Structure 1
Amino acid sequence: MKAKYLLLLLLLGGCSTAPQQPCICSNPLPPVTTAPVNPNNDKESVNQLLAYIAQVAKDRWGEDDFVEAGKHRYVKYLDGYTTRAHIDFEAGKIYVSTISQYQPEHKLQKAIVQTLLMPADPANAELFSDKEAIIKGKPFLLGQVVDHEGKPIEWEWRANRYADYLMANKLQSKSIKRGNAYYVEITMVKDHLEQREYQYAGLIRDAAQRYGLSEDLIYSIIKTESSFNPYAVSHAGAYGLMQVIPKTAGADVFNLVKKKPGIPTKEYLFDPASNIDTGAAYFYILKNRYLKDVKHPTSMHFSMISAYNGGTGGVLSTFDSDRKRAMVKLNNLSPNQVYDALTTKHPKGEARRYLQKVLYFQKDFSEGKL
């Protein structure tokens, strides 16, 4: 057995790790129950799921060491919420850790493999439970992580070998609320963001052509909303790459574009193809319905981006409390003046920053094509 494996077992004094035997600790963990959800309210149900996960995970890990899934962050709990994979897509870091007191080395090694081979389709990821993901197809992280030999990790045998290497050479520990946490840190390749972009290039191209949009716009929206994280979720009830909210943008797309009743499910919006199609279709609605009276194409562009984040009402209220007067005032301004108003006078600070950020990213994507 590797030296660090032995160190790990020695650090776990007080709990038996004999095979086939449950660990009897002085501070046992409470059992995991099923999270209550309201199937008729998508925003409420996702908040209930996130709140439930937070409640159980905080009990395991403590307030200071709890990590929650978000728009730019993938978090997956396993083993009764005692083992965790955390991917920070903005920082390009992966952390796999465990606080399990029973066979922690085995659980950590298994979680590393699960993370390296995590499915590209969020439908197989079991995001809102501690169940293992269904490993099938090409791994989502393929090309975004390489092993200790600089090789991409596509197959289970290579993932297992890299996990063994990490356990033997990169294992770390820290004290937390319930004792010790054991973890490894993996640095993603420098162009990990571009690697994710490539995965969706075809879907973005098709959606741009379908709805008469520039590819740069869709790329910049996805980067802003999720850093190309298809597992992205927020407390606002938004899902996936373009962070679509089912009851607002999703409902509009279903009713006005798809000509079908109801709203998209979270499963539908976690599917990258459906998500990109829905987000792009909502821009089509903004351009051809809600903001169709904006005359200058550049002012239209600024208004659509702002409305994607803060709603059409937010855009118009920037100029006047009366919608008709607001449109007249908007059209009497130059595009630069419209931009200045939306980035300094919009009633929501987030929307002001959002337009700036999307346009910054869009410039990068546009220049990258030259």
Structure 2
Amino acid sequence: MKKAALFLSALLLAGCSNPRPPECDCTTSQPPTSEPVTDNKKAINALFSYLAKEAIKQWGEDDYVESSKHRFVKYLDGYQTRAHIDFEAGKIYVSTVSQYQPMDKLQKAIVQTVLMPADPKYAEQFTDKEIQLTGKPFFLGQIVDQEGKSIEWEWRANRYASYLISNKLQSKKIKKGTAYYVEIDMVKDHLEQREYQYAHYVRDASKRYNIPEDLIYAVIKTESSFNPYAVSHAGAYGLMQVIPKTAGADVFNLVKKKPGIPTKEYLFDPANNIDTGTAYLHILKTRYLRDVKNASSKHFSMISAYNGGTGGVLATFHPDRKQAMVELNRHSPRQVYDALTTKHPKGEARRYLQKVLYFQKDFKEGNI
């Protein structure tokens, strides 16, 4: 209990360590009307369904794998070959079920995977198109070859692929035939390597919206494990998993003062994504939750609202929104934390607050 109390104390201090930011110029909460708000969730699920249908033809239902917030899956070669990147575990699996020249297909897929560019538009995850190798590889520094050297050029990637196939090849019997695959371990500090890639974007967004850097990092780690290709069935995109028609629309309308909603291409850009996600945290803090009086209680509430919405936070305390705010302010910060992590209507939101605060404490201690 003593350890838990010390941990909570650190979290409370984290919530109070920054001065109150200036109020944003948020004069309306109405969605933009100059262009239609599309049903992004429906559209993204249609893409997931199409991908599943095509990939299952080759792999079967039991061995089909799809992308998620912390996982990127790219199918190639008529959906017979794929790269599966687990950003949390730091593992990459490159596999093929092709019965025609499978080693050639595997070799090519390994090369495309280790040299994959950082911009998601060059690695279309809902088609089987080849990955376009352009610019600096995203995994540079996160993957090393058999000699312990980073892989930046195609000749080195090909040599590494040949080594893996000759020395690390595995096979597995599946319903559709035989799958050949190799496993690639990322370096131990792969997460830190990705953090460094986005440090300047986080720093700029923190200054722009007066949101602590450690909180931005913690949200990114919770949402995507620093996976810039992240996409979910909820229609959220990128590092901070921004949903265009909700958080994205709010940022465009209330902060950017521009009509419409951000496109998926806009949100897949790391700079735009971090800016938008941080701006939404600013909106939560200075607009939707501005009446929360205690700084730590507000900190807990805005983190919870980033995942489960402001309505979910208020519903934790009372069905009526106005009365909910009164009840929330009657609670101590510790009681607010306990309520949001045990009584929030959504289980995911309860766990979300715990995760973000845990990661924020870690980043605050200098692990950035």
Alignment of 1:130-279 (within 5 A): 130-279=128-277
Per the alignment, residue 116 of structure 1 pairs with 114
1:102 counterpart residue number: 100
2:124 aligns to what?
Answer: 126
Deviation larger for 51-60 or 220-229: 51-60
Backbone CA RMSD of aligned residues = 1.1
Contact kept in structure 2, 1:123 and 1:271, CA below 8 Å: no
Counterpart selection for 1:303 from 282, 301, 304: 301
The alignment partner of 2:93 has SS state of: strand
SS of 1:180's equivalent in the other structure is strand
Q: Which residue of 1 is the match for residue 12 of structure 2? A: none
Q: Which amino acid aligns with 1:188?
A: M
Residue identity in the other structure for 1:253: V
Listed one character per residue, the Cα deviations across residues 301-323 of structure 1 (whole Å, up to 9, x for unaligned) are: 00000000000000001111111
Q: Which residue of 2 aligns with 1:331?
A: 329
CA pair 47-272 structure 1, distance change in 2 beyond 3 A: same
Displaced runs of 4 or more, over 4 A: none
Question: Are the aligned partners of 2:38 and 2:245 in contact in 1 as well (CA < 8 Å)?
Answer: no
* Cα distance change on mapping 1:316 and 1:258 into 2, 3 Å: same
CA distance in 2, matches of 1:154, 1:331: 54
Give CA deviations for 1:206-242 in whole Å, capped at 9, x if unaligned.
0011000000000000000000000001000101000
Q: Which residue of 1 aligns with 2:310?
A: 312
State the one-letter code of the partner of 1:255.
Answer: N
Q: Which runs of 5+ in 2 are unaligned?
A: 1-36
Aligned to 1:66: 64
Q: Does 1:77 align with 2:69?
A: no
| Cα distance change, pair 162–211 in 1 and its aligned pair in 2 (3 A) | same
Corresponding residue of 1:359: 357
Equivalent position of 1:11 in the other structure: none
Name the TM-score, length of structure 1 as normaliser. Answer: 0.88
- Tell me how far apart the structure 2 counterparts of residues 199 and 329 of structure 1 sit (CA, whole Å): 42
SS of residue matched to 2:82: strand
Q: Secondary structure at the match of 2:274?
A: helix
Query: How much does 1:369 deviate?
Result: 5.5
Q: Aligned letter for 1:210?
A: R
1:350 alignment partner, one of 348, 352, 365: 348
Q: CA deviation at 1:177?
A: 1.5
Q: How many residues align?
A: 332
Displacement after TM superposition at 1:365 (Å): 0.4
Return the offset for 1:252.
Answer: 0.4
Q: Distance in 1 between matches of 2:120 and 2:97?
A: 25
For 2:178, give the aligned amino acid.
Answer: N
Q: Kindly, what percent of the aligned residue pairs are identical?
A: 77
Listed as ranges, the gaps of 5+ residues in structure 1 are 1-38
Please give the alpha-carbon distance, in whole angstroms, between the structure 2 residues aligned to 1:126 and 1:236.
19
- Residue 51 of structure 2 is aligned to residue 53 of structure 1: yes
| Matching residue's letter, 1:144 | Q
State the match for 1:19 in structure 2: none
Aligned AA (1:41) = D
Deviations 1:127-148 (A, max 9, x none): 2210012111111111111000
**What CA deviation, in whole Å up to 9, does each residue of 1:260-316 have, x standing for no partner?**
111111111111111100000001110111001011111110000000000000000
Alpha-carbon shift at residue 332 of structure 1 (Å): 1.3
Q: Secondary structure at the match of 1:368?
A: coil
Residue 301 of structure 2 aligns to a residue whose secondary structure is helix
Instruction: Find the residue that maps to 2:354 and give its secondary structure.
Output: helix
Letter in 2 for 1:277: D
Q: Is the 8 A contact 1:309 1:351 kept in 2?
A: yes
Q: Secondary structure at the match of 2:365?
A: helix
Question: Deviation digits for residues 164-191 of structure 1, max 9, x if unmatched?
Answer: 1111111111111121111111111111
Greater RCO structure (CA 8 Å; 6+ sep): 2
Cα distance in 2, alignment partners of residues 278 and 321 from structure 1: 30
Contact 2:228/2:238 (8 A) holds in 1: yes
1:82-137, CA deviations, whole angstroms, 9 ceiling, x for partnerless residues? 00000111111100010111111111000000000000111211122100121111
> Looking at CA atoms only, which structure, 1 or 2, has the larger radius of gyration?
1
| Residue identity opposite 1:346 in structure 2 | H
2:90 aligns with 92
Partner Cα distance (2:216, 2:285) in 1 = 14
Shift of 1:41: 2.3
CA gap 1:369/1:174 in 2 versus in 1, 3 angstroms: closer
CA deviation after TM superposition for structure 1 residue 63, in Å: 1.1
